[in-house]
Structure 1
Amino acid sequence: MSTSERLIESTRELLWERGYVGTSPRAIQRRAGAGQGSMYHHFAGKSDLALAAITRTAEELRAQAEARLGGPGGAVERIAAYLRREREVLRGCPVGRLTQDPDVMADEALRRPLEETFGWLRERIAAVLAEGVESGELDRGLDPAATASALVAVLQGGYVLARAAGTEEPFAEAVEGALGLLAARAAPAGRPGPGAGRP
């Protein structure tokens, strides 16, 4: 791994553990095994390095989500695969936790990858739900956009509940509760979807 990669990965870990204020240049250098000169050779400063780290984390979250949401199966099955995927629940969401950091949110450049990532995630889940409505898997009365926002909120709230309780159980309960509500919106058996019967 190159020095710049070590710096980015070390910053990602420290931001997740300590937040922006708690992540000092010295701590980054120590974890990356890099000197001050190396750090400032590759990055203009802490903010520039943090932006690279946050962007990398956001890209990773999208890739993990797309692997499940774009996988095989029906809409509910794909959403369940995403919601139930393995996570380090008690560490919190590496993207969601940064939205609680006032220094990150006050910096437009640092905030933008978070905003874009959650916007993408809501739209991607909404698209999968819309596919389910179109195919007849889900009830026509279901609002894909509103339901997608609710599912993302359940995930983020699940992290908070789990961290507060010191156990992953509340997160798992939140996920299963959301999937139960989604299953309740399944279309009645045998109802043709809007495109049924078309050549």
Structure 2
Amino acid sequence: MYSAVMSMSTPERLIEATRDLLWERGYVGTSPKAVQQAAGVGQGSMYHHFAGKPDLALAAIRRSAGELAAAAEAVLGGEGSAYARIEAYLLRERDVLRGCPVGRLTMDPEVIAHPELRAPVEDVLALVRGRLAQVIQEGLDSGELRGDVDPEELAATVVATVQGGYVLARATGSRAPFDHAVRGLLALLAPRGASA
């Protein structure tokens, strides 16, 4: 892993180090010195590429948000029924006990208080909800999903289940609560006539 990181450009190493530190420690715990140590660069290199900690954190948050959007689109934009794509989204590989690198930022008062840092978090969660609502609407239009649901409300429920599942898993130190939440939601969403 170290050799792969060291083969990256200096800005890439700084962004990746910041992403990891934000995920683990939050904004306050992500000091410039910790970033420099994790990236294997000096102070001069960091400030040559980024104006300061907020600038670097913004690049890292945007990167995490972009990866979340791409991972969601990879399954929601794929082949299969609406239910199958929602199921693929809910069951996709995640580091459940580590939590969501974007969702965890919503609990960080420094990120939420800073409109520029908060914007990519807010935008990507809205994008995922919107994409889920489109897939749900497809399922409603085809008659696959029950017609008595609001696509936007159900999309918010799916995102809340995933993010809440992370919280429950971290609180217990077990991925079981996450898996239970996902299976419960899938049972509720099961297409007409299907046995969940």
Q: TM-score range by the shorter chain?
A: over 0.9
Write out aligned runs for 1:70-89 (5 A): 70-89=77-96
Give the alignment's TM-score, normalised by structure 2: 0.94
Matched, 1:94 2:94: no
Q: What is the alpha-carbon distance in structure 2 between the residues aligned to residue 139 and residue 84 of structure 1?
A: 21
User: Aligned partners of 1:188 and 1:130: how far apart in 2?
Assistant: 19
CA distance in 1, matches of 2:120, 2:187: 31
Instruction: Tell me which of 11, 25, 30 is aligned to 1:4.
Output: 11
| Root-mean-square deviation (Å) | 0.9
2:120 is matched with 113
Listed as ranges, the gaps of 5+ residues in structure 1 are 190-199
* Aligned partner (choices 158, 168, 174) of residue 165 of structure 2: 158
TM alignment of 1:27-106, pairs within 5 A: 27-106=34-113
Specify the SS of the correspondent of 1:17.
helix
SS of the aligned residue for 1:109 comes to helix
Q: Distance in 1 between matches of 2:85 and 2:193?
A: 20
In structure 1, what residue type is equivalent to 2:106? Answer: T
Partner letter of residue 148 of structure 1?
A
1:138: how far off?
Answer: 1.1
Give the equivalent residue in structure 1 for 2:25. Answer: 18
- CA deviations 1:19-70 (Å, max 9, x no partner) are 0000000000001011000000000000000000000000000000000001
* Structure 1 residue matching 2:97: 3-state secondary structure: helix
Deviations 1:111-134 (A, max 9, x none): 000100111011100000000011
How far, CA to CA, are the matches of 2:68 and 2:20 in structure 1? 14
Instruction: State the match for 2:5 in structure 1.
Output: none
Question: Equivalents in 2 of 1:20, 1:54: separation in Å?
Answer: 10
AA in 2 matched with 1:171? F
Give the whole-Å Cα distance in 2 for the aligned partners of 1:125 and 1:68.
Answer: 10
Moved >3 Å (runs of 4+): none
Number of residue pairs matched by the alignment: 187
- Report the counterpart of residue 172 of structure 1 in structure 2: 179
Aligned counterparts of 1:96 and 1:140: Cα–Cα separation in 2? 30
**Within 2, Cα distance between the matches of 1:151 and 1:75?**
13
- Normalising by the residue count of structure 1, what TM-score does the alignment of the two structures yield? 0.92
Match of 1:123 among 111, 126, 130: 130
Distance in 2 (CA, whole Å) between partners of 1:152 and 1:83 is 9
What CA distance in whole angstroms lies between the structure 1 residues aligned with 2:16 and 2:102?
A: 14
- Offset at residue 188 of structure 1 (A): 5.3
